[in-house]
Amino acid sequence: MAVQDGMSITMMPPFPARKATYDMQTLKDPKQDLFNLYPEAPLCRNCNACTEACPQKIDVREGVWKAVFGDFKSVSEMFMDCVMCGMCTPVCIADIAPNLVALYVSRAQGAHFTEKPLGLDARIKEIQDGRFDDEWATILKMTEKELADHCATVK
Ligand code: SF4
Ligand code: SF4
């Protein structure tokens, strides 16, 4: 919500959650690797405190369970609105950082279990080969008004 008169605002101090270190591209079995990187994840006690703490109304508890059972696709969709505020972490009695577990799972889903859209590699190569360099140079020189007019014509 927008700031209002009389509102009291407090910044949450960063909570020292343990963040696992990994090189996502080189992981061979990301669903099994979850248990090496975040061994506390399966120790969830189902207390639901993380879900109640979440300002984004994510069912965090459910997400942790889905991660443990390997449903990475659902987790990546459930945590789309996570703002990494960390409020789910200090309340966890099992010392899980659900947001970091979900971040790992979402990265793994994108890197290992999601088909790349057709034509994406071809388009990336076109960009790398400079096919759009002239258009990009033109856009960078535009004023805000010229840019708005340009966008209106290409809708
Ligand atoms: S870090 Fe994400 S999942 Fe955790 S409380 Fe904040 S918004 Fe919710
Ligand atoms: S706060 Fe921790 S133990 Fe409780 S449901 Fe969430 S992840 Fe599980």
Ligand 2, pocket-test mutation among 92, 95, 99, 101, most atoms within 8 A of CB = 92
Q: Could you read off the pLDDT tens digit of each residue along the chain, which spans 155 residues?
A: 788 899 987 766 556 788 899 999 999 999 999 999 999 999 999 999 999 999 999 999 999 999 999 999 999 999 999 999 999 999 999 999 999 999 999 999 999 999 888 898 899 999 999 999 999 999 999 999 999 998 998 76
Strands (E), the chain: none
Q: What are the sequence ranges of the domains in the chain?
A: 27-112, 120-154
Structure tokens that stand for 107 in this block: 């990265």
Closest CA relative to residue 45, chosen from 98, 81, 104, 87: 98
For the entire predicted model, the pTM comes to 0.76
27-112, which class in CATH?
A: mainly alpha
The residue whose CA is least distant from atom 1 of ligand 2 is: 92
